[in-house]
Chain A
Amino acid sequence: AQSVTQLDSHVSVSEGTPVLLRCNYSSSYSPSLFWYVQHPNKGLQLLLKYTSAATLVKGINGFEAEFKKSETSFHLTKPSAHMSDAAEYFCVVRLPYGGATNKLIFGTGTLLAVQP
């Protein structure tokens, strides 16, 4: 079965300091992995995706994530946090296409707070 585990439900950083949001995945197949962000009263927005190309994936707003098969991890990072980064972040794995579906499996989310 495919699943993702987000290791922290809440993370608080100071503006200008690095961000690290941790995610571990479980998959019987070579996974497709995503990070989505959810700002209050807005829809989920795709930050970045990994689909078996480069293991270091760059996304929008300065975020990036590294796929590490040996550690089954896909942690999200940003060198310097901005106040506008405060939001909820979801790590997501996608079921393989063999089942003719595009079903996304979401983690439970990490709420990022950015202190001035």
Chain B
Amino acid sequence: GAGVSQSPRYKVTKRGQDVALRCDPISGHVSLYWYRQALGQGPEFLTYFNYEAQQDKSGLPNDRFSAERPEGSISTLTIQRTEQRDSAMYRCASSLAWPGGGRDEQFFGPGTRLTVL
């Protein structure tokens, strides 16, 4: 079956613009996660959802970052008033079950490479 997909794969924007990054999880997966990966680093947790409920947003760096998953499937990560330091690979993952639910392995998408000029 299809894996996690993300769009766009590459996004170049100018400083100050808003961007929206989309994640389409594996069908039927309950939980969805967002991570950010700077060059030369491992991914860092941003936020995650069980169904449509945002359970943990402790990793969002500031209030310019927000995420939603209104119907418990597709999620959007929005960055307002982008800054150059926001340039990174943004990765999405989904899992069949919620934490502790047994089959909670995270499956990752290919990522969106964001470049802020």
**Is chain B found bound to chain A in the same assembly?**
yes
Binding site for B on A (CB under 8 A): 36, 41-46, 49, 90, 92, 97, 99-109
For the complex formed, measure the closest distance between the CB of B104 and the CB atoms of chain A, giving whole angstroms. Answer: 6
Given known contacts A43-B3, A109-B42, A102 and B108 CB-to-CB distance under 8 angstroms: no
The answer to whether A41 touches B42 (Cβ under 8 A) is no
Contact of B42 among A42, A43, A90, A99 (CB under 8 A): A90
* Chain A residue contacts of B4, Cβ below 8 A: 43
Q: Considering only CB atoms and an 8 Å cut-off, how many residues of chain B contact the other chain?
A: 29
The answer to whether B109 touches A102 (Cβ under 8 A) is no
Main secondary structure of the interface of A (DSSP, over half): mixed
* Chain A residue contacts of B111, Cβ below 8 A: 43
For the complex formed, measure the closest distance between the CB of A71 and the CB atoms of chain B, giving whole angstroms. Answer: 21
For the complex formed, measure the closest distance between the CB of A28 and the CB atoms of chain B, giving whole angstroms. Answer: 18
Given known contacts A44-B43, A108-B41, A100 and B55 CB-to-CB distance under 8 angstroms: yes
The answer to whether B41 touches A104 (Cβ under 8 A) is no
| Residue on A nearest B3 in the bound complex, by CB | A43
The answer to whether A101 touches B110 (Cβ under 8 A) is no
* Chain B residue contacts of A92, Cβ below 8 A: 42
| Residue on B nearest A46 in the bound complex, by CB | B105
